[in-house]
Amino acid sequence: MTTVRSDRTSEDVLHPLDRLTAGEIDRARVLLEGAGLLGPTVRCAVLALEEPSRAQVRRHRSGDEVDRRVRAVLLDRSTGGSRTVLASLTRERVEEVVKHDPATDGQPPIMLEEFEAVDEIVKADPGWVEAMSRRGITDLSLVAACPLSAGSFDLRGERGRRMLRVLAFQQHRPSDHPWAHPVDGLVAYVDLIERRVVELVDTGVMPVPAEEGNYDDPEFTGPPRTTRRPLEITQPEGPSFTVERDVVTWEGWRFRVGFDPREGLVLHELSIADPSTGDPSTGDRARQRPVAHRASVAEMVVPYADPGPVRFWQNYFDSGEYLLGQQVNSLERGCDCVGHIHYFDAVMADADARPRTVSNAVCMHEEDDGVAWKHTDLFTGAAQTRRRRRLVISFFATIGNYDYGFYWYLYQDGAIELEAKATGVLFTGVYDDRAAEWSTEVAPGLAAPYHQHLFCARLDMTVDGERNAVEELDVRRVPRGEGNEHGNAFGRAVTRIRSESESGRIADGAAGRKWRILSTEATNRFGRPTSYVLTPEGQPTLLAEPDSSVARRAGFATRHLWVTRYDPAERYPAGELVNQHAGGAGIPEWTRADRDLDGQEITLWHTFGVTHFPRPEDWPVMPVDTCGFRLTPHGFFDRNPTLDVPPGS
């Protein structure tokens, strides 16, 4: 097993999409301080590369000067005031400062130090301490105060406040996992600026479940099994991919690795070589054909189903509120990835706008993926089999109790797949007659509420060029009649999505619904537009009522597919400041413009996910559950592009 790392210490920026370096983050801090925008009470909630537009990237040539710009969201913890700052590191100047109205614009993302502050705030509150005492809990050092995003519910006195809502869990000792022992019936509403509990909701004393759930303790799990034999993956000649700074090439694919503190892993400038255009005898290289300018998971929402007074507000936007990328894990060789591994480090800004490096944040490796194609011919007797490989680019992030893995797969036949993996520990409460309608009992007296994990992928498509269009493809039954006398015919119905108002689409498994992204400029040898097809899994979208708070805030999650005209300022499907925003931002706002989509630069927003009805087997730690989607070439190539794959592995 071999490990290679890309931690890019060089401060030379050669391309507009190069990841931010530690030196650039330092320069951004100095620039913000010099402009009087950072100070003792001002914190940096997020600082990220302000990505150039597609047109700017297109115009860039090797050796050109690169204008490096950053976007920072700053919070004054003494007043609650916040602003977004746009600055050019190249020109060493602040270009734009936008102040936010917290009553209407939402709040900056939640920072780690605010999570830590909550423990002090609630344990200093007499009402909260007394409520714990009524439950027989006096050792507060063994109470874990769990800070959770507050949402927006128009509750009296909350508009404009920077808040968290706090549930509590008990530990039997410091090493005991608290999720097994929820202190239910009690929630504290905390003002983070005033540093006090502004409301305490106490519906009465409930028994704290006693059974422990320490999945890392042999006394709980029993001795480890001894039946497994070693399974080794070796590549004695090294991997088939090459890495130059942030650029990866593998089996005809070429792309750039990016990392964003909000979204995590981003893939830029995905293109694939067309084997039919090269000529090895003359040394002519196969032509690279673009597929997507940018691919990421731009948002995710986790809405819970319990409508009771203690938990009705539970819904979390893990990208917009918690900064998914900031919570990235440092991956371990042999556990998170196996084989010949190439790691990319992630460099991000902390709350002081100083760089911090997470080593091994992104893992890349090759995998065998079974048979690519096979045939034994009846007439010639020829028998041929080819095996398939895929390139895996992945990262894991921990958001409170859940852990999420995001795995991008690139295949030799031009297919792209995203698999999201959910694992970790279930959020828990007390199981009683009321909870039975909204949760599963996973241990004696322990409830795991029903909930959803809904992800939104942002796909800036460039299928064979900048000008694309989208069609909805359904299977079509053909009634028996003239031309179909035996009733066996079926066909395909094609609906062109011509404008944004037509783009909110729902998957339909009964219709075999897919969406085709086609070039309006390029054709294949049959004279038809080259294209890729998006195949959805078609699981339920957001199940909350349309007029609910979470539906207003997560409008993107009410449909499986949205298509918008590409705009570099339209980054996140629920808007810029998701935390405590009242809703309506992002995709619902953009699509009201009803821009033309036919033959334009377009962005696809694909919602996918799982509706989780927990089971006892999900406790005390949850086996991985998966969801995702697939993009497949459809008339993009003129024939099977893997004919040149040699036999064997």
Catalytic residues: 318, 402
User: In Å, what is the CA distance from 447 to each residue of 127, 620, 624?
Assistant: 26, 12, 20
255 and 270 Cβ atoms separated by less than 8 Å: yes
Task: Compute the distance between CA of residue 637 and CA of residue 530 in angstroms, rounded to an integer.
Answer: 8
DSSP 8-state symbol, 123: H
Phi, psi (deg, nearest 5) at residue 610: -125, 145
Q: Give the separation between CA 141 and CA 144, rounded to whole angstroms.
A: 8
Assign 30 to helix, strand or coil. helix
Q: Which residue bears the tokens 């899994």?
A: 537
Give bridge partners of residue 496 from the DSSP assignment.
471
Contact 279, 287 (CB under 8 A): no
Look-up of token digits 């339920």: 540
Q: Bridge partners of 346?
A: 358
Structure tokens at 49: 């590369």
The set of residues, in sequence order, having a beta carbon less than 8 Å from that of 243 and lying 6+ positions away, is 4, 6, 342, 364
* CA 150/CA 189 separation, integer angstroms: 8
Residue 266 near residue 296, CB atoms below 8 Å: yes
- Asked if 214 contacts 176 with a C-beta cutoff of 8 angstroms, the reply is yes
> How far is residue 262's CA from residue 299's CA, in Å, rounded to a whole number?
9
Return d(Cα 269, Cα 569) in angstroms, integer: 18
The amino acid at 196 = R
Which residue, among 348, 320, 353, has the nearest Cα to 108 in the 3D structure?
Answer: 320
State the Cα–Cα distance between residues 616 and 414, nearest whole angstrom.
40
Task: Please state the separation of Cα 213 from the chain's center in Å.
Answer: 28
Taking alpha carbons only, the member of 598, 630, 293 closest to residue 460 is 293
CB atoms within 10 A of CB 476: 13
E runs forming strands in 350-401: 355-376, 383-399
Q: Which residues 6+ apart lie within 8 Å of 488 measured at CB?
A: none
CB atoms within 10 A of CB 280: 10
Q: In Å, how far are 155, 159, 278, 381, 589 from 552, measured between CA atoms? A: 16, 16, 51, 62, 11
| 86's tokens | 């746009």
Q: Map residue 161 onto helix, strand or coil.
A: coil
Measured over the CA atoms of residue 406, residue 412, residue 416 and residue 422, the dihedral's sign is negative
Peptide bond into 620 cis (omega under 30): yes
Nearest by Cα to 266 from 439, 148, 106, 393: 393
- For residue 634, the 8-state DSSP code is S
